Structure 1
Amino acid sequence: MHESRLLSPRSFQAGLLDSTYENVLEHIDCGVMLFDEEGVLTFVNARAYGMLELQRYTLAGCTVVDLLTHLSLSRIKKRQLLHIYRETVYKGKTMYEFMDEYGRYWEVNASFGGDMNGSYLFTFKEISDYKKIEQTAYQNDNLAMLGKLSASIAHEIRNPLTAIRGFIQLLRPHLQGLGKEEYAKIILAEIDRANDIIHEFLSSSKPSSPQAGIISVSALMKEVILLTESEVLMKGCQIVLNALASDLYISVDVKQIKQVLINMIRNALEAVSDRLDDITGRIELGAYREGGEVRIIVSDNGKGMDVCTMSHLFNQFFTTKENGTGLGLSVSDRIIKNHGGRISVSSRINEGTSFVISLPLTPGLTA
């Protein structure tokens, strides 16, 4: 039997799909799976079995149950198919979207009933590019909204906070005499935290243009470690700067890049603090040259992230923290892009996360 022919001799209607139709289905840009009225798989095209990461011959004559328990099908794929079955066949939905383990988005369309004579037709189309456009439009809408909010936030909230802070400082000696100076410290700390949140909103809506200056990557990272080391040690963690080449220079807004690195170190610190075992938290910084770029690495041995979390990591307002704003990494991503660079991330659950910042290497200063 030719490989692209119907898989089962129990095809639901002889001659329904002749070689011409099969050839068309083999070459369309979406996966196709057809089950007959008894739940037997009668046709699957190359795109579909490629998505399942199976050989076509292993699917011959499979029922729905056989497919969900297929020995060669990964556990993740089985779970995805089970969700598709539940949302379409069981709940009667004709369209379902999901993200696979590689971060790709898929749209499933199901046809059944009516003229299908009891058969079920499923098509799978990758919509990752569409989702990127959709997310970009969503982010642009958020930016426009933040731009309108930021001026109001700065005026309506910062001014009262400044006044409150001033009065608390005036009252501090009186509170000290009453043995209540700790109250003043707490109030001032909370006011400063509120100001930090406002600063994040303002930075996310209108990050300032980079004021470029040439700096050694080694010097930059040593300064960042000095600024964060005490905070890391207080939480019982380690921060390590791996050996760096002395000839790595970048032309950047030093203040902005420090902001990015400090934010990533604090995120790493929270990730290692959230582990439930007794492993000592460790944050490592490093850098190396790759072609015409400098790659700066911030890695940790924290709790890690799943694919779904990573896919939304740089979206504004997305956060997994109870008290987070969801702006830190989106601001960091924008800062790096404004410098002509990019941020990539890799992570494994209970193993840790690595952020890699790629920036143009400044020419003429290397050995």
Structure 2
Amino acid sequence: MISQYQESLLLSARTFQSGLLDATYEDVLENIDSGIILFDELGVISFVNKQMYGMLELQRHSLVGCTMAHLLSHIQLNRFKKRQLLSSYREMIYKGKPNYEFVDEFGRYWRVSLSSGETMKGYYLFTVKEISDYKLIEQTAYQNDNLAMLGKLSASIAHEIRNPLTAIRGFIQLLRPHLHQLGKDEYARIILAEIDRANDIIHEFLMSSKPSVPQVGMISVSALLKEAVLLTESEALMKGCQIHLHPLQGDMAISVDVKQMKQVILNMIRNAMEAITERSDDYTGTIEIGARREGAEVRIFISDNGKGMDICTLDRLFSPFFTTKENGTGLGLSVSDRIVKNHGGCISVSSRVNEGTRFVISLPLIQ
């Protein structure tokens, strides 16, 4: 069975063949987004629109009156197009397939459709249409389904790993006094530190694959930033950094999951510390933290004068599992970005190599 669309194309093509096609029909066929080629009962091309001869990179007068054999031997038709024409002809004429898909030399996807049979009275109508956009959507949906399945499986495995780690940690703590007597307390300390690091990695992974729903509460921006600075000040001093908290102008309150938002800010401060320690030249590391009102939003900024990042790193910064750190998981900023978006905000970043990096967290204010 042929569609009404294809039947109208055939009718228009036949009318054109008989010389009775008016300007309206001709405009429709010439400007349609599909390539059209019509073979008569003798296998001779009787009509071809400009989309089709444009695809074939040939002139209309060199196509009309040709058979498929003549077309395949056309001196101006390149080898790749000849191969695709032959494949389409074989699959659809000899094997009876109504549709055939292929990829051209530029990586674009095309679909060829054939209408023939008794209703066509011996004619063969081929329509060719690019379907690259449809294929991209289809592949993206398929990939998302696979990632969702993998995420659920990985989260389940990660959750199960935490149970034996908890047991191992408990037994190491019980054995620690005996190790201390043997002068091996350092071993216990290293084991506990590595178990804690493994638990942190699993926690970040679980947050990335299935972040918890925000437990929203109101907090002032000033209180949030002061608490974050208090938690990181001593660590910054040990790494030779100075944290400068800019005084905030006016009262600004946000409705957020305080624990999650604190995690975001702490993660960015610690990233700033690492960027400062990784810079090779002799200088004083400084981390600037502050916030300002912009309309109905607050802009929280965290900037440093560390080693900075190039454009390639910035492009992939929030991608899961991407990291430039030797022992990093690549999940910290990905999770932070997800948390901020769940609160109706966004994160922007600017950076220059050997000059520093500036993160800006935008969040809606409570009016």
Question: TM-score, normalized by length of structure 1?
Answer: 0.61
RMSD: 2.6
After superposition, the C-alpha distances for 1:202-238 in whole angstroms (9 at most, x for unaligned) are 1001111111111110000000011111111111111
In the other structure, the counterpart of 1:233 is: 237
**Equivalents in 2 of 1:262, 1:135: separation in Å?**
34
**Equivalents in 2 of 1:162, 1:178: separation in Å?**
24
Residue 307 in 1 paired to residue 278 in 2? no
Which amino acid counterpart does residue 148 of structure 1 have in structure 2? Answer: L
> Measured at CA, do residues 298 and 154 of structure 1 come closer, stay the same or move farther in structure 2, by a change above 3 Å?
same
**Equivalents in 2 of 1:189, 1:303: separation in Å?**
28
1:193 is aligned, of 197, 203, 206, to: 197
Residue 146 in 1 paired to residue 151 in 2? yes
> Measured at CA, do residues 198 and 279 of structure 1 come closer, stay the same or move farther in structure 2, by a change above 3 Å?
same
**Equivalents in 1 of 2:293, 2:206: separation in Å?**
33
Which amino acid counterpart does residue 280 of structure 2 have in structure 1? Answer: L
> Measured at CA, do residues 339 and 134 of structure 1 come closer, stay the same or move farther in structure 2, by a change above 3 Å?
farther
Matched residue SS, 1:272 = helix
Residue 223 in 1 paired to residue 227 in 2? yes
In the other structure, the counterpart of 2:209 is: 205
Report the alpha carbon displacement of residue 142 of structure 1 after superposing the two structures with TM.
Answer: 4.0
Report the alpha carbon displacement of residue 133 of structure 1 after superposing the two structures with TM.
Answer: 12
Matched residue SS, 2:251 = coil
Gaps of 5+ in 2: 1-105, 107-134
> Measured at CA, do residues 132 and 249 of structure 1 come closer, stay the same or move farther in structure 2, by a change above 3 Å?
farther
1:258 is aligned, of 262, 286, 295, to: 262
Asked which structure has the greater CA Rg, the reply is 2
Q: Which moved more, 1:191-200 or 1:143-152?
A: 143-152
CA contact (8 A) 1:139 1:315 kept: no
Structure 1 segments, 4+ long, off by >6 Å, are 130-140
Structure 1 vs Structure 2: percent identity of aligned residues? 69
**Equivalents in 2 of 1:215, 1:307: separation in Å?**
35
Gaps of 5+ in 1: 1-108, 110-129
CA contact (8 A) 1:305 1:353 kept: yes
CA contact (8 A) 1:200 1:327 kept: yes
> Measured at CA, do residues 256 and 206 of structure 1 come closer, stay the same or move farther in structure 2, by a change above 3 Å?
same
**Equivalents in 2 of 1:354, 1:237: separation in Å?**
16
**Equivalents in 1 of 2:145, 2:290: separation in Å?**
33
After superposition, the C-alpha distances for 1:87-123 in whole angstroms (9 at most, x for unaligned) are xxxxxxxxxxxxxxxxxxxxxx7xxxxxxxxxxxxxx
> Measured at CA, do residues 140 and 343 of structure 1 come closer, stay the same or move farther in structure 2, by a change above 3 Å?
farther
1:356 is aligned, of 348, 357, 360, to: 360
Residue 297 in 1 paired to residue 305 in 2? no
Report the alpha carbon displacement of residue 286 of structure 1 after superposing the two structures with TM.
Answer: 0.6
> Measured at CA, do residues 317 and 347 of structure 1 come closer, stay the same or move farther in structure 2, by a change above 3 Å?
same
Report the alpha carbon displacement of residue 140 of structure 1 after superposing the two structures with TM.
Answer: 7.4
Matched residue SS, 2:232 = helix
Report the alpha carbon displacement of residue 146 of structure 1 after superposing the two structures with TM.
Answer: 2.1
1:242 is aligned, of 241, 246, 263, to: 246
> Measured at CA, do residues 265 and 145 of structure 1 come closer, stay the same or move farther in structure 2, by a change above 3 Å?
same
